[in-house]
Structure 1
Amino acid sequence: MFKFNQTFLDRNAIVRDDPEQIERLASDPRVKLILFNERFQVLMSPDGIHTANAAHDSQAPQSSEWLYLGQSQPYVTTSGGTDITNTDSIRSESSNHKSNNAPWFCAIINSHSFELQHHRQWSDLRLTMSAIAEPEASAVAFAKALLYWHKKHQYCGKCGEKTIIQSSGHERQCTACQQVVYPRTDPAIIISVTHKGRLLLARQASWPPARYSVLAGFVEPGESFEQAAEREVLEESGITIHSPEYIASQPWPFPCSIMIGFTAEAKNDAINLDDDELEHAFWVEPEELISKLAAGELKLPTYGSISHYLIDRWADQHGVSISRWDHP
């Protein structure tokens, strides 16, 4: 299982264009407000995400600045898209969120005028994602991606004039030409490439020492996901693959992407790093992966990421476990 692919929120799109309904939801005493600062760090409490309640938190921003996420609902969704009602694995606080129909919003607040209380702190979501329980982590990812999109679309791409928030945060409209734009998600493929029982791992020069992962890259205009997978692997490693098989996808709010996971068998195993995007790449056997992890010669991608999941899935298929090196 990986992060950001579960939800307890009904996005409730039908009320987004109803100001009276949104005002009523924002004034609900059960309302939950996810706060980010101007650097897109999320407000955390010692036990996880801090959700401000405007009725009891004098520092919460005015509701006119909130973006609507939805209302809690009595089920979560697995990576395979199956609704499940046995939520024993969800901590009790989350279970309350799921059952009480609470409205959820998000907002950005100026950290310089915000007093941190009760051991709360601003945290980088990428660094703390493994410590945030699901399904709250999925709501936080939704909030972060939506807020980031608004930050980057303050002005109209058609005429250059200022845009304003519409549809409770799910549209922006130009104040001059009236053009409407919608939140975007940038699709990227990520793929575990195998060859005769080996897995292809690679690293970029900017990554922490010994950190390796599977290959990934953005989908270009006019491409299918499968075509993007074939192109990215060839461009980055010089390896040709055939018949990429879809595995799963993961919303990735860094800043606002979705990772589409594949696996594929390589037609050749000669690695050629011509485009300088990768610093190093190599094929690894299952037992070799374990020995390199044990020796500290190789570090896994972040626990909870689909890149980690794809490596874990391959290892499990070959009878080895990497769970010892997981750090939830």
Structure 2
Amino acid sequence: MKLAETVTFGGAGLDRAAHLRGDAAALTRMQARDDARVVLFWRGKPLVRGEGRDRLALLPCDHPVVASRDTGDRVLLGLAAREAPRFACDLSNWEPEDLDRNELGQYLDPSEQHHPDLPADHVFAELRRLMARLSPVDAELAATGKAILGWHHTHGFCARCGAPSDLSQAGWQTTCTRCGSHHFPRTDPVVIMLITHGNSVLMGRSPGWPEGMYSLLAGFVEPGETLEAAVRREVFEEAGVAVGAVRYLASQPWPFPSSLMIGCAGEALGRDLNIDPQEIEDARWIGRDDMMVAFAGDHPVLKPARRGAIAHFLLQNWLADRLD
């Protein structure tokens, strides 16, 4: 698929500079540079700025909010244009005043949090809500930072012996304080399938999704399984549809919390549905004309996948006949 890497979070050529992660002297020099910047996160939300919430707020390393954190907690995201260093830092232990906990954790958290030591237009906002507004560079930085900091939150102890682990390699490794085992970030492979039969595409919805929202079927790849086999298994398990030929289309890092969405196209061998209610709430075949109406926002029932998600990207290119 020629347009594969134009998907949101598809990458902007960030130099991840992995060879510098273990170089303490180089990390110190980079943080002292005038063009070094830090992306702050609060409980998974990146700090953004502007009325449109369409830009990351990149703070200098000596900003009081950044300087209040231990320099060892900063994650090296990589080098941007002209080798400008970019770091991520977690501010999750800050407790905002008047925090509305009812909004946190919703499918699409609408709340924003403002730190009193930052400009008025700098707020922490849910990445899922604003991902399609960010530039490719900002999107890659935000996705990388959110995923790696999320890994820190869930992997503070050694998976081998259970002892606490310390961060190393600029945040890209943990080392057990007891047995010395090293652990590295994990990415979960997920297949997401554009399954077609004639001029229709198979769509489904999970319980708890916003009313009318449908997306492509998706599921985790199991150990010892090929992508093609995972596509066929997941579609049959969820919708009872047998799938023949399968081909790869595009991929998308999906930091909610740590997946790699692997977009595939599959040809259904029939249209009969047998939905597993433990897997999905509903599934249906949607014709191309109906999908075009849904994308225009005029369909009485169907709301397509959210902009920025690979499902939206694949469907948009299917409608435009640009999958090859």
- What range describes the TM-score normalised by the shorter chain of this pair? 0.7 to 0.9
Q: Aligned to 1:317, what secondary structure does the other structure show?
A: coil
Counterpart Cα distance in 1 of 2:201 and 2:13: 35
Partner Cα separation in structure 1 for residue 21 and residue 243 of structure 2: 44
Deviation at 1:305, TM superposition (A): 1.3
Which residue is equivalent to 1:17? 22
| Equivalent residue number for residue 89 of structure 2 | 107
Say whether 1:59 aligns with 2:65.
yes
Conserved in 2, the CA contact under 8 Å of 1:235 and 1:275?
no
**Cα deviations across residues 48-75 of structure 1 (Å, max 9, x unaligned)?**
11011023x1111332220111111xxx
Corresponding residue for 1:89?
none
- For the 8 Å contact 2:235–2:241, the answer to whether it is kept is yes
Contact 2:189 2:221 in 1 (8 A): yes
Separation (CA, whole Å) in 2 of partners of 1:287 and 1:70: 44
Q: Which residue of 2 aligns with 1:295?
A: 299
Q: Which moved more, 1:292-301 or 1:149-158?
A: 292-301
Match of 2:218 in 1: 216
- For each residue in 1:102-142, what CA deviation from the matched residue of structure 2 results, as whole angstroms up to 9, or x when unmatched? 00110101333742423211101111112222221111101
Q: State the one-letter code of the partner of 2:26.
A: Q
Q: What is the aligned length?
A: 290
Post-superposition CA distance 1:24-58 (Å, at most 9, x none): 11111110101001x21111111511011023x11
Q: Which shifted more, 258-267 or 292-301? A: 292-301
Q: Could you tell me which of 235, 238, 245 is aligned with 1:236?
A: 238
**Whole-angstrom distance in 2 between the partners of 1:175 and 1:106:** 24
Residue 275 of structure 1 deviates from its aligned partner by: 4.5
2:110 counterpart residue number: none
**Gapped regions of structure 2 (runs ≥ 5):** 1-5, 97-114
Task: Tell me the distance in 1 between the aligned counterparts of 2:73 and 2:208.
Answer: 37
Matches within 5 A, 1:1-328: 1-37=6-42, 39-46=43-50, 48-55=55-62, 57-60=63-66, 61-72=69-80, 98=81, 100-109=82-91, 110-112=93-95, 114-115=115-116, 116-292=118-294, 293-317=297-321
Distance in 2, Cα, partners of 1:7 & 1:62: 29
5+ residue gaps, structure 1, are: 73-97, 319-328
Of 122-131 and 251-260, deviating more is: 122-131
> 1:63–1:296: structure 2 CA closer, same or farther, 3 Å change rule?
farther
2:318 & 2:165 partners in 1: Cα distance? 46
Q: Which amino acid aligns with 1:108?
A: D
TM-score under structure 1 length normalisation: 0.85
Letter in 1 for 2:71: S
One-letter amino acid of the counterpart of residue 36, structure 1: F
Aligned 8 A contact 1:7 1:139 in 2: no
| Amino acid across the alignment from 2:154 | K
